[in-house]
Structure 1
């Protein structure tokens, strides 16, 4: 302020907050008013902490960057976000896949090729919707329920159709679907103690299952027809091994959760 016209005279009216001016200690412009330390933009004044321009104030408040990002995430996580739309597409593809798979008795090569295309799109969307939901915080209650249903529906429809047409033994369908339903039920049983995360083996299992079932959907012959048998064998092994691993994780999680609850109860009684 030194050298500015407003501070040239000690009692100049324009020098709010200067020594001896109306903003001096005890004067109307004193601390907390429009003068010295309470001047406009200073602590306690308009634009200061607690004032209209301060954080949490109604007018011109500066929201922290994290708050803006959090609000944006909440707005994005609506029902009609991209992750949920992909899940809905997968659900719609299930009846379409079944119609294509069973058209003309299930042995029309062209219809089987279209059925494979529908199955492939469903499997691809399964990869992307979960990734998008986790990356961009688009997780919703609808997605939590619909995503696993869509996953099981498309795989179950493919397996049942293949077994019904005689292309795949029923015991393979029973093993795969039994494992999938069992793991889903297991997750709900231990949800009170925690969440069983998806493992790398589980992801490999999903890839192997999708590849094997896709090869059985296509009307392959020769070497590729023989190769799909071995790919399905790998998928079955991964299905069983990862299923047993989920059981192990569920037991460990339940024991740990019970121990923590007992320790918390004992601590509360002290």
Structure 2
């Protein structure tokens, strides 16, 4: 295989398609598997206070994306996804734009190997990047939204073809895809409720774990954090005075 074929001949040749393609169903299944494993890693890390599961997962993530960039035929998560959807009708999408998206994933996972696998050094912004990766896997598995594919045209100046759900082709929405005014209000209120409710819970609940404390401090402003410290100091002072009175 020469360099040109490696760069441009990515995916499988399927009759009826003018470009090489990959099976979007396998890609979505693989994204769901990676997202599920990521959530398990978070819960195990919080519940058992272990870092080894996160290190193994992130090392696996890096190796998986490396395999994807080279060839989709031997990436572990894609093979697992292929196993689960092997009896479903394939949905073919252009291989090059999926490879571009997975290359972006590889570049995101690369620093994680140093931050968390080789040299464990957790900070809010580093964790935020991990959460961003999980968000991307969720969007792809749940809604077939490939965020990296959307950057394909921006960076390559090439028009994407055979996109997931046919969004690259010019078309009008079917009536069942349209929102009436009541549906718009319900959807908007649901989204606002989820965002505001999550924020209020994290900001006002007393954290019980390190990760909870981490999130709690992340959503508060500097003034709110200082107020909490002042209140904690006052409670400690009152407790100390109460202990002194009991001693007397």
Global fold match (TM > 0.5): no
Shorter-chain-normalised TM-score: which range? 0.3 to 0.5
Greater RCO structure (CA 8 Å; 6+ sep): 2
Q: Compare CA radii of gyration and give the structure with the larger one.
A: 1
TM-score, normalising length: structure 2: 0.34
Which structure is higher in helix share?
2
TM-score, normalising length: structure 1: 0.31
